[in-house]
Amino acid sequence: MQSGIINVLKPPGMTSHDVVSYIRRLYSIKRVGHAGTLDPAAAGVLPVFIGNATRLVEYLADADKSYRAELTFGFETDTGDDTGKIINSRPYIRPKLNEIEAALASFVGENEQIPPMYSAIKIGGKKLYELARQGQVVERKPRKISIDTISLITECETGIVFDVTCSKGTYIRVLCSDIGSRLNCLAVMSFLVRTRVGNFHLEHALTLEEIAANKEQAIQAADSVLAHLPAIMLSEQEAQAIKNGRSICCNQSGSDLIKMYDRESAFIGIGRETCQLDGHVTLTPVKILSPGL
C-alpha cells in the first residue's frame, strides 16, 4: 500500500472532497484524507494524505495557514463571497490608504469570529450550509481565532488585496466582511488562494495534471508533516519495543513529542517523552506507522 502526503494545488470549482475522490481513484486506494477544507471557489494548498499517513492528519490540521485574498467593497452576500446571492448593497466612500492599513492592523492578535451559515460546521447533527440552503439561519457562537500577520498587498479599483497568516478555523470570508465593517463599508471576499498550510507551500504544490503524470514522485514521505518535531534514532531492540507498544528509556530532547526512526532511518512513528519521578525520561509510543506500508 502506498503511503505519504501529496501537496495538491486545488483548482477553483472543485470541493476538497472532490480532490480526495480524484486522488482515491488515481491511486486506487481507499484511505485518503486532507488537512484543512478549502471553499469550492478558492484555490491553493490542500495537503492530501494517503494510506497509513492518514493517521497523521491531526498533526497538520491544527497548523497555521496563509492566504492571499481579494476584498471587494459595496455589497454583501449570503455566503460572504462573490459566488453568493447579493443581500445588501450601498454606495461607499473609498477608504484612504492609512485607514485601510490601520483597519488591517487592528485584527492582529486574538479575535472572536462568528462562523458563517455557509460552512461545514455541524449544529444539531446538520451542517450549517445544509440549513442555509433551506433558508434557515441559526445562532452561532463566536469562536476564538488568531491573526498572526496581515498586510496590504495592493489597492484595486473596487477593493484591496491582502495577505494573512492565521490560526485553524479562521474564515477569510468573515474576515473580509469584518474588515469592511471596520471601514464602514459592506464587503465580500472576491478571490482566495491558500499559499501555505504548516510547512506545505504554494510554490511546491502540484496540479492534478502534474500528479497524474508523476504519481510516484508526487508523494512525499509521511514524516514530512512533522518537520517541526525533533528526531531520535532507535536501536533494533528499542525499535521493536516501541512497535510492540512498550516504553523505553531515552535522553531528554526538551520536546513533548518526538519522531522515531530505526537504525536504517525508516520512520517508525511518534513518541511522547515523560520525565519520571526518579529523573529518568521514558519514550512512549503515540502513533506507530509500519515502515513501507
Catalytic residue list: 39
DSSP state of 185: S
Provide the b/e sequence for 201-240 (b: ≥16 CB within 10 Å). Answer: ebeebbebeebeeeeeebbbebbbbbeebeebebeeebbe
Spatial distance between the Cα atoms of 157 and 180, rounded to a whole number of angstroms: 15
281 bridge partner residues: 250, 275
Spatial distance between the Cα atoms of 146 and 278, rounded to a whole number of angstroms: 39
DSSP state of 221: P
Q: Is 90 exposed, middle or buried (0-12, 13-18, 19+ CB in 10 A)?
A: exposed
Spatial distance between the Cα atoms of 41 and 170, rounded to a whole number of angstroms: 17
